[in-house]
Amino acid sequence: MAAVGLAGWGALFAYSTDRAEARRGVDVDEIVGDRCSYDRRTDPGRTHVESPRYTVDPPSGGPHSARPASPGFKEPAATPSDGELVHAMEHGFVVVWYSPGDSAVEELRALARQERGIIAVARPGMTARIAVTAWGRRLLCDSVDVGQIRRFVRAFAGRGPERVAI
């Protein structure tokens, strides 16, 4: 019964956010393009927990650490935990996950300086070359298109369930 309730709330959340995106003029198809996929996969919940674990990789929501990650480009040795990144998404930040050693690292570093609300982090072992996540939304791409990432950020930054100034 609880699982049905959670599934129902998830469907309601997706429906209400789809309507809100349409009202704001967000065209998800334009953001996705032809070399990316878009989904709403996320772990349920929003509570603070000691050691969160995620079934969705990279995560786009769920229980998370008490401390959020700060914005900006993060060197691989200074990558915040998934729980800190998910908490930042709850506040409305967008996380750009890239494969370590990717040739587009400098472009992503520049993008993180130019756009408010971005946290760029290396993610070893991703199946996609790059992933861009906001609370409850994931864009998974085989190529790096900074314009496409920028459109996702502008559509979804500042839209987390716990909005703070970005």
Give the residue extent of every domain in the chain.
29-156
Confidence of residue 18 (pLDDT cuts 50, 70, 90): low
Taking the domain 29-156, which CATH number applies? 3.40.30
Separation of alpha carbons 95 and 15, rounded Å: 23
Pick the closest to residue 25 from 148, 162, 155 (CA basis). 155
- Return the pLDDT at 166: 75
Confidence of residue 164 (pLDDT cuts 50, 70, 90): confident
Helix ranges, the chain (H): 2-24, 28-32, 82-90, 105-114, 146-156
- Return the pLDDT at 35: 84
Which burial class, exposed, middle or buried, applies to 154 when counting CB atoms under 10 A from its CB (0-12, 13-18, 19+)?
A: middle
